[in-house]
């Protein structure tokens, strides 16, 4: 049980890192060079919105798994 939870935490953690990197890829270096896309707040559409929601879901699952692991140990 503990081993399977550890493996699941690792898999969810890697997926969470990937989704965060995919989100920040859109921001890029545009802010450093002076160009901007209209400010910090902008509407998420299509794939960007899907990745955003997947990131939230993965973070909630990751947090729940870590708490479960804490109570089991």
Look at 61 and 36; give whichever has higher pLDDT.
61
* Longest alpha-carbon distance in the chain: 51
Tens-place pLDDT, residues 46-72: 888 899 999 999 999 999 999 999 999
Q: Model pTM?
A: 0.75
pLDDT for residue 42 = 66
> Rounded CA gap, 43 and 1, in Å?
42
Residue-averaged pLDDT of the chain: 83
CA atoms within 13 A on the CB side of 39: 3
Ordered by start, the domain boundaries in the chain are 1-22+44-73
Average of pLDDT values for 16-21? 94
pLDDT for residue 7 = 96
Cβ atoms of residues 57 and 64 within 8 Å: no
């Amino acid at each position: 049980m503990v081993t399977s939870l550890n493996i699941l935490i690792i898999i969810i953690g890697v997926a969470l890192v990937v989704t965060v990197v995919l989100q920040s890829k859109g921001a890029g270096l545009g802010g450093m060079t002076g160009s901007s896309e209209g400010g910090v707040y902008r509407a998420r559409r299509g794939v960007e919105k899907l990745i955003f929601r997947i990131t939230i879901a993965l973070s909630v699952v990751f947090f729940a798994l870590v708490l479960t692991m804490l109570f089991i140990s």
